[in-house]
Amino acid sequence: MPRIPNETEVRGYIKTLTNWGRWGPDDQLGTLNFLTATKTVEAATLIQTGITVSCARPIRAESAPDVKIPPLHFMIGSGEVAKEEGADSSSDFIGLAYHGSTITHVDGICHMFWEGKMYNNLPANLVTTREGALAGNIDLLKNGVIAKGILLDIPRVRGVDWMEPGQGVMPEDLELAEKAQGVQVNAGDILLIRTGNYKRRLALGARGDGNPGPQAAILPWIHQKEIAMLGSDTPNDPSPLEYPNLGLPIHHIGIVQMGLWLLDNANLEELAETCIALNRWEFFLSVGTLRIHNATGSPVNPIAVF
C-alpha cells in the first residue's frame, strides 16, 4: 500500500514546492508559464479524427445533498405566450455559485489564500467585496487554455467501477496509469484524473458523504512534471478532509504555493469511453472561460478533440 504523508510532511510542501518568484515578482500565471506557444502548436497535431467530446457536467437548477447553493434558471419569456402572428422570442436568466462540488469550473489563482497571502506573495485583500478580484483573477485566461490533455483513468487501473469517498489518488496510481495506457505526462500538459466520482453520482444519486480525489502526496509529482493545469471529476481534494488544519492541500498548496490552475468537477465519462474506443489517452484540449471581470473563477465546458 502506498504510504500517505502525514500532516507535517504535507505542511513541508509549502516551502519545498513553492513557485513564488520563479517567473518574477509580478507573475500571476503560475503553472500556465509551462504552456508555451510551441506546446500549443504540438497539441494541435493530435487532431486526427475530428471527434469532439465535452468534459463538462450539465448545469441543472436543482437541489441535491452535494449542492450547497442551487443554480437559478428561470424563464423571462417563453413560447407559451407567443403571438399567433408575427415575430416573438424566448429568453431566460441563469445565476450560479460555481465553486463547489458539482459545476465544472476553473479556479482563479485568487481563489485560495494561506496566511493572508495568495500566489506569489500577493496580499489576500486584493480580493475585495466591492471590486472583486484585483489580481489572480479569471481575466488572465481570457484567450483560453489550449494544450495537450492527458487522461489517467485510475479506476480502470485499479479494476473498480469508481473510487469511494475519502480515497486518494496517489503518485503510484498515476505512474501505473501512465504505464498501462502508454502515455507520459510532460511539461505544459493538462492532466485529467478520472476517479469515477461522476459515474458513481449518476449510478447511485447525489450523496453528501464526501468524494475521492487527488491526494496531497501527488503534489511533488505534479511539481516535478511541470503541468499547466490539473483537473479531475471531483473538487480536486478528497473528503472527508484528511488534514483539517491544512484545509484543502491540492487547493491551498497547489494554487497558493505553486500557482497551479485547477479544473474542478469535470465529466470524464464520455472522454474515458472515447479514449478506450480509440486507444488514445492524449488529445487536443480547449478550456475556454467566460470573460467575467474580476471573478475568482469561471464555469467552463472543456472540449477534447481527437
Establish if 148 belongs to a structural domain.
yes
User: pLDDT tens digits for the chain (306 residues)?
Assistant: 788 999 999 999 999 999 999 999 999 999 999 999 999 999 999 999 999 999 999 999 999 999 999 999 999 998 888 888 889 899 999 999 999 999 999 999 999 999 999 999 999 999 999 999 999 999 999 999 999 999 999 999 999 999 999 999 999 999 999 999 999 999 999 999 999 999 999 999 998 899 999 999 999 999 999 999 999 999 999 999 999 899 999 999 999 999 999 999 999 999 999 999 999 999 999 999 999 999 999 999 999 999
The residue count for the chain: 306
DSSP strand E in 142-260: where?
145-153, 168-169, 190-194, 213-214, 229-232
> What residues are paired with 184 via a beta bridge?
none
pLDDT, position 83:
87
Residue 249 falls inside a structural domain: yes
Please report whether residue 270 resides in a domain.
Answer: yes
pLDDT of residue 125: 97
Domain membership flag for residue 80: no
**Ramachandran angles phi, psi of 277, nearest 5°:** -65, -40
Residue 188 lies in a domain: yes
Instruction: Give the pLDDT of residue 84.
Output: 85
- pLDDT at position 79 is 86
Residue 160: other Cβ atoms inside 10 A:
13
Range list of β-strands (E), the chain: 52-54, 72-77, 91-95, 105-107, 117-118, 122-123, 127-128, 132-133, 145-153, 168-169, 190-194, 213-214, 229-232, 261-264, 282-287, 297-299, 303-305
Query: Contact, 92 vs 79, CB < 8 A?
Result: no
| 102 and 69 Cβ atoms separated by less than 8 Å | no
Q: Which three-class secondary structure state does DSSP give residue 251?
A: helix
| Cell (9 digits) for 284 | 487536443
- Structural domain of residue 192, as residue ranges? 7-68+102-305
Instruction: Please answer whether residues 138 and 297 qualify as being in contact, where contact means their C-beta atoms are separated by less than 8 angstroms.
Output: yes
Return the pLDDT at 286: 98
Looking at the 3D structure of the chain, how many domains does it have? 1
Sequence-separated (6 or more) residues with CB below 8 Å from residue 105:
98, 99, 263, 264, 265, 297, 298, 299, 300
Question: Residue 43: which CATH number?
Answer: 3.50.30.50
- Specify if 35 maps to a domain: yes
The DSSP call for residue 245 is G
Q: Residue 16 has what pLDDT?
A: 98
Kindly state whether residue 143 falls inside one of the protein's structural domains. Answer: yes
147 domain-assigned: yes
In angstroms, the CA 21 to CA 120 distance is 6
